[in-house]
Amino acid sequence: MTYFDGFVLAVPAANKDIYIAHARTGANLFKKLGALRLVEGWAEDVPRGKQTDFYRATKLEEGEVPLFSWVEYPDRATRMKAGEDMMNDPEVQTMSEMPFDATRMIYGGFEVLNDTGATAKPGYIDGMISPIPVANKEAYRAAALAQAPLLIEQGALRVVDTWGDDVPAGETTDFPRAVATNVDETVGFSFIEWPSRQIRDAAWSVLMKDPRIAPDPKIWDASRSIMGGFEPVVDQ
């Protein structure tokens, strides 16, 4: 079953072109090690939150922009082997100079709960990270499967919802802190691929009035979810 590595990081706006070139090189490396796809989303419509948001998640500094990214693997075993092989790959050494502060990069491995639609080349991405009680895994899966067709009906290309499977604690930032998880919670990493921002904006103007798309407070605390719209700057 498909498996995802999810990433959230902060990149200086002045380094955008350098970062894109760096990410494209990284995509080639990941694919050599078995990955199917790497996508990098550059923040475009990312709101501030009352408790949590992408800015606080990455301890964003002045002049930086949050990114929402993922690497897609055919299965967990391929992802785990890629991680091992990467440590011994000489090409990794050539990428040691990062055009961002890697100590504030958030990453983790995620099991797929819902993958509706077809992989395409989206013109826009919605990204979301949520704190989900571990006991509510199947209820969360059922909600995701029920809501995905509503998004597709309004023009989404693909809707993916995943479950935190290998989400390590970091020294300064990590997925659990990004959404202030409690001890009985894990992290959900979700994204929606859209043909364009125009279609996405029109879709949400309809969906926000549809009670079927509203998060169920009995399943998770959406007030701690972080979300935003991202321009895909790398997709290969």
Rounded to 10 degrees, the C-alpha dihedral 139/6/184/148 comes to -10
For the whole model, what pTM was predicted?
0.95
The domains of the chain are located at 3-235
Residue 130 to residue 220: CA distance in whole angstroms? 8
- Nearest CA-CA partner of 194 in 137, 154, 221: 154
Residue 190 to residue 181: CA distance in whole angstroms? 16
- pLDDT values of the chain reduced to their tens digit, one per residue, 236 residues: 999 999 999 999 999 999 999 999 999 999 999 999 999 999 999 999 999 999 999 999 999 999 999 999 999 999 999 988 887 877 666 666 789 999 999 999 999 999 999 988 999 999 999 999 999 999 999 999 999 999 999 999 999 999 999 999 999 999 999 999 999 999 999 999 999 999 999 999 999 999 999 999 999 999 999 999 999 999 99
**Per-residue pLDDT, 85:** 87
Rounded to 10 degrees, the C-alpha dihedral 9/14/15/18 comes to 150
Q: Which CATH number fits domain 3-235: 3.30.70.100, 3.40.50.150, 3.30.1330.10, 3.40.50.720?
A: 3.30.70.100
DSSP string, 10-76: EEEGGGHHHHHHHHHHHHHHHHHTT--EEEEEEEEE----SS--HHHHTT--TTEEEEEEEEEESSH
**Per-residue pLDDT, 87:** 78
**Per-residue pLDDT, 119:** 85
